[in-house]
Chain A
């Protein structure tokens, strides 16, 4: 029994070490963008990249299959500009981000697994990958709500904080009668 407890305690110690090894605070993030390292973090980051990072990378497939990737860079600076996503159906505004008066699809678009796709599209990231899927999703919902609708347009709007003035930075339209661009 004491040996079993010793082995258990050794495994717990190893698990602590593994967690720390896989995601030591800050190095985990600096790996993504080494240019952000400054002062004492430059040599520390280089040392980390030479010694720990390759071993951690070797464990990445196991992390993926177990669904337990260890990197924890959450919200950092927030949005640099004030951005909205809009849905226009036959020239009428149906949805505008965080606008209770135009809340069509507000629930699905705020879903945490959808929200990032919307945000990336408005921001201009991954547009070729996201745009067709996003347009398909919106078109399906619009047709469900109004089978007579003819066109749907999604828009990305952008402006400076905190003013209300915004300009259209992205837009794509679909003809719902043909499924193509009008």
Chain B
């Protein structure tokens, strides 16, 4: 057996090769910029609405109350407010790619403290973004589209995007399987009203008019089925069918952006999706899906960045 064929058959060697296969550094940079920019815009929105003191100042007027792991007591009642502005500045640096690694650490530690002053000051999407940025901290996510200082590279190892994709699969499948097994009657068209109708027409979080929506129950029942299908089948995002499946994800999050008031959630989730549409180099023996071939042709088109 030759050393090359031994490498192909040894599972560990294949895993190492898989982790370190080169991918376009712009994909990683786009994820970094997308997540940090959405977070900055969301924080600026909170600031422009004058909600920062009410949400974060520990003066008993607003909702802020220190939780178990709050560590900024020495800064007094303004501690979380200071953490908010520190996190905002650090996220802006992450988006710009300026001193990216230290900025990620500062942003995440400050943002984590914001989550320690109330039950809803931190949300599920924050945890997804934070976990992803902790992963990106160990990757060359500032190899492209960064102010610097950083080392420019055209290709970077793929492991960080693999890990982020795995995280997303866990998020979607957890959500989907809970819907299927815990709330199966609500999501499998057996309940009187479809779940997506009750979510999107809820005046406290959705924007769909209940009277209008009630006339189109078939539409919401179809949305229930598609949501369940996408989330439970999210493992396909780890396969060669990922681009096709990701189209459903993009549609889902665009739909949420238009029909619900969820803040940064749909936009932060959309920031993940470019990575699923970037075809990877593959052996000549595998053809890929039709969508892969189309995306590959788009990628090869001349770009002003190159």
B178 nearest in chain A by CB position: A29
Q: Does A133 contact B (CB under 8 A)?
A: yes
The stretch of B114-122, B270-278, B286-294 that contacts the partner chain: B114-122
List the B side residues contacting A20 at CB < 8 Å. 170
Q: Does B166 contact A (CB under 8 A)?
A: yes
| A111, B210: Cα distance in complex, Å | 21
Checking B176, B183, B202 against A83 with a beta-carbon cut-off of 8 angstroms, the contacting residue is B202
The contact size tier of chain A is 35 or more
Checking B67, B202, B207, B261 against A112 with a beta-carbon cut-off of 8 angstroms, the contacting residue is B261
Checking B61, B127, B265 against A67 with a beta-carbon cut-off of 8 angstroms, the contacting residue is B127
The contact size tier of chain B is 35 or more
| A25, B134: Cα distance in complex, Å | 21
Checking B16, B19, B116, B196 against A78 with a beta-carbon cut-off of 8 angstroms, the contacting residue is B196
Q: Is the CB of B19 within 8 A of A8?
A: yes
Q: Known: A72-B174, A76-B186. Is A9-B20 also a contact (CB below 8 A)?
A: yes
List the B side residues contacting A69 at CB < 8 Å. 127
Question: Which parts of B32-76 form the interface with A (CB within 8 Å)?
Answer: 42, 45-46, 49-51, 54-55, 61-63, 65, 67-69, 71
Question: Which parts of A50-91 form the interface with B (CB within 8 Å)?
Answer: 61, 64-80, 82-85
| A28, B128: Cα distance in complex, Å | 15
Q: Is the CB of A82 within 8 A of B54?
A: no
Q: Does B155 contact A (CB under 8 A)?
A: no
- A35 CB, nearest partner CB in chain B, Å: 11
Q: List 18 A-B contacts (CB under 8 A).
A: A26-B182, A64-B68, A66-B108, A67-B109, A67-B111, A67-B115, A67-B127, A68-B127, A68-B131, A72-B124, A79-B202, A98-B207, A113-B46, A113-B120, A113-B121, A117-B63, A133-B54, A162-B201
Binding site for B on A (CB under 8 A): 5-6, 8-9, 12-13, 15-16, 19-20, 23-26, 28-30, 36, 38, 41, 61, 64-80, 82-85, 96-99, 107-108, 110-119, 122, 126, 129-130, 133, 136-137, 140, 161-162, 164
